[in-house]
Amino acid sequence: MASPRAIRVLPPDLQNQIAAGEVVERPSSVVKELIENSLDAGASFLKVRIDEGGIRLISVIDDGHGIPPQELALAVTRHATSKINSLADLSRIQSLGFRGEALPSIASVSHFRLTSKIESILEAASIEVRFGSVGEQAPAVLAKGTRVEVRDLFSNVPARLKFLKTPSTETRRCQDIFERIGLAHLDVDMEFCVGERSRLRFFKDQNLRQRLELIWPPDITNSLLAVNYDRQGSSVSGLIGLPSMAQPRPDRIYFYVNGRPVSDRILLRSLREAFKGQLLSREYPQAVLFLTVAPEEVDVNVHPAKNEVRFRDESQVFSLVLGAVKNALGQAAPEHEPIFGRPEDYSRIMVMDPIKSLNLPIHEPSARYGSATPHSKPVESSASPVPFIPKTPTHAAEESSLRLGDLTYLGQFHETYLVLTRGRDELWLVDQHAAHERILFAKRRRLNEAGSRPLAVPLELPLHASQVSTLESRWQELLDLGFSLSLSPQRLIISAVPGVLTPGQAKEFLSEVASNRADSLDDLWAMLSCRAAVKAGDVLAPDEALSLLAQWLDCPERDYCPHGRPIVLRWSASDLERLFKRAR
């Protein structure tokens, strides 16, 4: 057996490099730590610069209180911090940093320089660290505050370097973290530069909405609801998007706990719970929510990167956020109206109309299913205590009007399912919402085939800076659909639209595309179809139900909705016999 190797304390630069593995995952983690330090130093202005995705240079300059020259070397020493003294301090952290790890970690994987000046001393001082080895301190020139420069990040850790994405992706991530922190520090003037060029400036004393207007498209920022909620010494404030503005990715959900950006499953769950019934399983709302709780209620020392927290009482936090968001949504929707039935939900509907506005009979009777003549005789409505709309007693003429080929429509069950029989042998339940989604989705297919319609008067769509690049990335797809488009600064000129869309619908479609609310045009279409579709819970008159069914029967892939859920359940008489245990 091999003899044991001696236990040794690792040299400091190796200790730091190991710590760097957790704290400094990529350039954006450096940006986060440096901005946090500036804010902890009471900065009223800070400026971040990123060159080549942060590999070549990340610098952060602030006008905070600075570091005394005799402490510069300590600032780059592990577990040296000015922010806590005792375990008791740790349980009531107010600052963003406290672990004393960030600077030494960053300095162990880069060519690092820290320059700082405190008010009471005339000259600034600077210290350089090359991949963990600390150089001599030297006098420097700096009017006020602190400047940190990080060069050649990870050039001594090729494995990390390889794992980075393209410079533009890494720059984007740096900007994301800058934005996230900036939304929580409205009193600080903050600038983000890429190379020499200023990319984003948050001015001092802008409010949250004004800062969001700089980074989110206007259709979203125009429809944000304020959240303001206090309960038992805790509070939630911020802004949330309307359910009708939901998007397929959770990338506009920002939570903060006591000013610190966090990602947290409980908070996300309570947000979704508050929107329950108003979102599809794959839709996410927008939210920027600030939780303020007593410091002892939350442990921020869970992970070195400090972007996770642990709550002492999770269920209390869950119900706090749930209450706050529900309250905000409730204020948007008057009590007497179901939230989904608010007019603005429908005014956003584009491209295709809810079934109620379909001009009946729309459907050219299909040879396969015979005639779908509208049936106009009023039928008992949902006022009936039994949620089943019975077919009125019959004579032959009416009987045939409820027929589609060999299918006979019996009525609507639970304002959700259409009940049918096929011949004498089959019973069908059709999910009305899913069926309508399928119809609308099938129209999307036809969009490509319907050609292009030139507009006599071109339409103009004003664009926010954030929307131009999104549109450009979809340009060819849009042309393929039949749009004729050109860009003039700040606006999109639409000179032809796909044949199946009205100009108004086309304009709305493009504005949704520009706001990047879906991964692909197909996803966007599926999302919009779903929103426009007849809902579960909508009462359908028999003629409406028949028209819906007739169109649905003509769709390809009609057994499943675009999300993959079944549209129809079928039982044969023998299935029922089995279910009733009559068959042997």
> Is residue 64 involved in binding ligand ADP (CB under 6 A)?
yes
> Is residue 99 involved in binding ligand ADP (CB under 6 A)?
yes
- Give the interface segment with ligand ADP, choosing from 98-106, 119-127, 308-316, 412-420 (CB under 6 A): 98-106
Beta strands in 8-99 (DSSP E): 45-51, 57-62
> Is residue 219 involved in binding ligand ADP (CB under 6 A)?
no
DSSP-derived 3-state class of residue 317: helix
> Is residue 63 involved in binding ligand ADP (CB under 6 A)?
no
Q: 352 with 532: CB under 8 angstroms?
A: yes
d(CA 297, CA 312): 5
Which residue is associated with the tokens 């050109």? 486
DSSP-derived 3-state class of residue 101: coil
> Is residue 149 involved in binding ligand ADP (CB under 6 A)?
no
**Residue choice 67, 164, 291, 471 for contact with ligand ADP (CB under 6 A):** 67
CB of 36 to Mg ion, least distance (A): 5
The DSSP symbol for 9 reads P
Q: 104 with 76: CB under 8 angstroms?
A: yes
**Which of 407, 442, 434, 447 lies closest to 559, judged by CA?**
434
Write the CB contacts of 328 (distance below 8 Å, at least 6 apart in sequence).
225, 226, 227, 228, 229, 240
Q: Which is nearer to Mg ion, 102 or 478 (CB)?
A: 102
Q: At 282, which amino acid appears?
A: R
CB of 254 to ligand ADP, least distance (A): 22
Q: Which is nearer to ligand ADP, 71 or 523 (CB)?
A: 71
> Is residue 33 involved in binding ligand ADP (CB under 6 A)?
yes
Q: Residue 132 CA to chain centroid, in angstroms?
A: 39
Q: In this structure, how many other beta carbons lie within 10 angstroms of the beta carbon of residue 138?
A: 11
Q: 260 with 249: CB under 8 angstroms?
A: no
> Is residue 284 involved in binding ligand ADP (CB under 6 A)?
no
> Is residue 57 involved in binding ligand ADP (CB under 6 A)?
no
CB of 301 to ligand ADP, least distance (A): 11
Which positions touch Mg ion (CB under 5 A)?
A: 37, 97, 102
> Is residue 103 involved in binding ligand ADP (CB under 6 A)?
yes
Residue 64 partner contact from ligand ADP, Mg ion, none using kind-dependent CB cut-offs of 5 to 8 Å: ligand ADP
Q: In this structure, how many other beta carbons lie within 10 angstroms of the beta carbon of residue 285?
A: 23
- Give the interface segment with ligand ADP, choosing from 92-100, 162-170, 196-204, 274-282 (CB under 6 A): 92-100
DSSP-derived 3-state class of residue 538: coil
Beta strands in 380-468 (DSSP E): 403-404, 407-413, 417-422, 426-431, 452-462
CB of 311 to Mg ion, least distance (A): 23
> Is residue 474 involved in binding ligand ADP (CB under 6 A)?
no
CB of 41 to ligand ADP, least distance (A): 3
Q: Which is nearer to ligand ADP, 90 or 332 (CB)?
A: 90
d(CA 61, CA 124): 14
Q: Which is nearer to ligand ADP, 103 or 322 (CB)?
A: 103
Residue 19 partner contact from Mg ion, ligand ADP, none using kind-dependent CB cut-offs of 5 to 8 Å: none
Residue 220 partner contact from Mg ion, ligand ADP, none using kind-dependent CB cut-offs of 5 to 8 Å: none
Residues within the interface to ligand ADP (CB under 6 A): 33, 37-38, 41, 62, 64-67, 75, 81-83, 97-103, 146
